[in-house]
Structure 1
Amino acid sequence: MKFLPAFLHFLTTSAMAPNITRPNPAIPLTPPTLPPPGASSNAQEIIKQLLSLTRSNIGSKLKLVKKIPLEGDVWEPEGLVRLAGSSPEEERFWISAGEYTRPTIKYPDGWRDGSDRQNGAGFAHFLVFDGNGKRVGDWVVTEKGKGEYHNGGVEFDGRFIWGCLAEYRPGGTASVVKVDVERLEVEKVFRVGDHLGAVVRDGRRLVTLNWGGRRGRIWDLGKVERRDGQVVMKDGEGGFDEPEEVVTNPSHWIDYQDCKFLGEWQGRSVMLCSGIATLGDGVEVGGLAFVDTRSLVPVWEVPFMRRTESGVLMTKNPMDVGVVDGRVRLWFAPEEGRGAVYVFEVGEGA
């Protein structure tokens, strides 16, 4: 193996100011102290309480406790990270979103070169809100004309947000990025010849999922090196980076939209994923799943059919999970345009 030229793998804002709009620059984009990851730091309690949900009781036991309208346009939200604070004013929601300026166009004769459509155009954003939904930042992280403008699912590891910038179509290309939320810097860590829509960090490994979560790639972060301040990784066939392993999702229940790493459970390393599937004739289903990060085998699944007032399934777009006052909470932001964060809590008892 050889190294790709470093300029293909490096994007940073250190040389220029980030393209960010802040209504009040005095309001910080993070809590005073960065919290631990909400999912993995509470993994066993999250697993325990979510396992109490079944197809028959989820409608009554997973309760909506709060709706937080979000200020301004959220375009299409794709990933959500909640940074816990001591108050709603200190709490932060980081939402990855795509602003689309030219739509994708389906090929009239079906699939070509691994995709069913032409790429469109747009911009990738990170939107930042406080716990009341007040907009405190809008960071545009791609430039005009860049093909990888779809900002997918995200994961917070206690220091960085990991995300995916991709062409907005199956196949295509994508880059995994590491976002420094305090210094406002973005680094491209590696690049693949496929769409990427979600990423989780499992210790020294990253797991990325392609369009609909149909295929997973497992990456060894130990192979990422720094040379002269630039991030480079060993490359593979076709000039794209080569993962340690590629696995196929054996489940055809839902297409995963956003995932969060939990930890070890029953000898497996698991993540929580949410998503939807269209089964034909307008029938949509939503659901949650614990998924083995190495094999993509779901080890627990439950349907979740709750919708917003406008009829959108809660699990259509991003999700985060954590524990507040001893109870597991799930945060969803399913709606495009003028959206909201919907906060659900697992109730006690059967």
Structure 2
Amino acid sequence: MSYRIALILPILLMLAGCQADNRGQQVSAQDDGTTAAFRLLTKSSHWQLTAAIEMDFPTFHTQGLVKIGDIFYVSAVEIIEKTETYARTDNLWDFSLTRTAGKGRGWLFKFDGEGRMLGKVELTRGDAFHPGGMDFDGRYIWVPVAEYRPNSASNIYRVDPVTMEAELSFRVKDHIGNILHNTARDTFHGSSWGARRMYEWHVRFDHSGQGVITREKWSPNPVHYIDYQDCQYSGVNYMFCGGLQKYDTPLGKVALGGIDLIDISGDQPVPVHMLPIAQYWDGGDDAKVASSHPADAELVVSNNPFWVEEIADRPVTEAGTKIMRIYFMPDKDNRSRLLIYDVAVPFLPDSG
């Protein structure tokens, strides 16, 4: 297949209602066990906190979470000088700056299931010190590090999870709060501050891993009940995105969390299953549900990092035969615990 045909074919397939991977094969969104199980969860699903693991190091303000085998990675921002807001805008097409740069340091920490730090790497470069949500593509962890203000700029790093060696791969002219590599289409996906702009990038890499964006597009996020903070690729052409939004109520400010399953096979991202989260952390060993008057109604567990996986079958129960294991790592006073929840997956309906 010639180079020109390889460039044109994905566009033709997209117009036909499908997508192509880098080998020219048609690739639509396809479930794996994790995405299929997640589709069965509802607002009434039972959440059971199974562990709240304390870290043996300051985690600062946590952002993104990755799990590879039994090892975890979390990105975090250490705030030294807070930003100051001097203007506001709700116009998605207005890319003007609205805050001072502030000062801080960006980190990626590696730790085990007991909360022991195994390694770290600093990802600070000038005013860019705010790491975001991240993901692992089977070879590298991709981490965005942005200026701590909307409409700014971001450095995209690829990190070797074994050596923790970080390389600045490419740059984006916006604050990118999360990023992942769609290996089916060989595209990168992410979102802006507050996840109001949903981005897709085509990136050309040289032999050393240095990348140049060859095509960039964004579309307004159709989801408004939460702002995405962290995203995770799953199945084929799907991503999980989680986060929160804080609401003013007559009883005070309350945070609502959520995790959404999003189809990224087409021209625009399409949410296909949205799961609200009302589990709250009190900063200690326990987590509480909203109905039990949590100690901090603004600290929903999906603030900010999360990771989703389906675990092996278990004996049949009334709730179901499988469970989703969902990891969260909210922070309070520069400290965090890894909160591990098991969520029962209902029985699949009998197709016979």
Tell me the TM-score range normalised by the shorter chain.
0.7 to 0.9
Partner of 2:272: 299
Give ranges in structure 2 of 5+ residues lacking alignment.
1-29, 284-295, 314-322, 348-352
Q: Which residue in 1 is equivalent to 2:304?
A: 317
Shift of 1:113: 5.6
Letter of the 2:261 counterpart: F
Partner of residue 276 from structure 1, selected from 244, 252, 262: 244
Please give the alpha-carbon distance, in whole angstroms, between the structure 2 residues aligned to 1:67 and 1:44.
28
**Any idea what the Cα deviations from partners look like across 1:300-328, whole Å, max 9, x if unmatched?**
11211100124210111001112333332
User: Match for 2:245: what amino acid?
Assistant: A
Q: Is 1:225 aligned to 2:206, yes or no?
A: yes
Provide the secondary structure at the position in 2 that maps to 1:47.
helix
CA RMSD of aligned residues (A): 2.0
1:105/1:79 Cα in 2 relative to 1: closer, same or farther (>3 Å)?
A: same
Residue aligning to 1:341? 338
Question: Match for 2:71 among 88, 92, 98?
Answer: 92
Partner SS for 1:172: coil
Q: Which amino acid aligns with 1:285?
A: L
Task: List runs of 5+ in structure 1 lacking aligned partners.
Answer: 1-41, 85-90, 234-240
Number of equivalences: 283
Match of 1:148 in 2: 128
1:1-25 residue CA offsets vs partner (Å, 9 max, x unmatched): xxxxxxxxxxxxxxxxxxxxxxxxx
The answer to whether structure 1 residue 82 and structure 2 residue 82 are counterparts is no
5 Å matches for 1:72-221?
72-84=57-69, 91-107=70-86, 109-111=87-89, 114-142=96-124, 146-203=126-183, 204-221=186-203
CA distance in structure 2 between the partners assigned to 1:306 and 1:70 by the alignment: 20
Distance 1:346 1:315, change over 3 A: same
The one-character-per-residue Cα deviations of 1:56-108 (angstroms, maximum 9, x if unpaired) are x13xx232111111112100110111121xxxxxx21111111111101111x
Contact 1:45 1:328 in 2 (8 A): no
Cα distance in 1 between the residues matched to 2:215 and 2:247: 31
Read off the aligned partner of 1:303 and give its amino acid letter: P
SS in 2 for 1:201: strand
User: Please, which of 48, 52, 62 is the counterpart of residue 36 of structure 2?
Assistant: 48
Could you tell which deviates more after superposition, 164-173 or 134-143? 134-143
The alpha carbon displacement at 1:49 in A equals 2.0
Question: CA–CA distance in 1 between the matches of 2:164 and 2:262?
Answer: 31
Contact 1:248 1:296 in 2 (8 A): no
Structure 2 CA distance, aligned partners of 1:230 and 1:255? 31
- 8 Å CA contact retained: 1:65, 1:344: yes
Structure 1 residue 43, shift from structure 2 partner: 5.4
**Identical residues among aligned pairs (%):** 29
2:218 maps to 1:246: yes
Report which of the two structures shows the higher radius of gyration computed on alpha carbons. 2
Distance in 2, matches of 1:159 and 1:106, equals: 38
Shift of 1:230: 6.0
| Per-residue CA distance 1:168-210 (angstroms, 9 max, x = gap) | 1111111111111223322222212210011111111110211
- Contact map agreement 2:121 2:166 (CA 8 A) in 1: no
Q: Which amino acid aligns with 1:255?
A: D
**Per the alignment, do residues 330 and 67 of structure 1 end up closer, same or farther by CA in structure 2, a change over 3 Å counting?**
same
SS in 2 for 1:94: strand
Greater than 6 Å deviation, 4+ residue runs: none
Deviations 1:123-176 (A, max 9, x none): 111111111111222322225xx1110011110112110010100111111111
Q: Which amino acid aligns with 1:273?
A: C
- The structure whose RCO (Cα within 8 Å, separation 6+) is larger is 1
**Maintained 8 Å contact 2:188/2:200:** yes
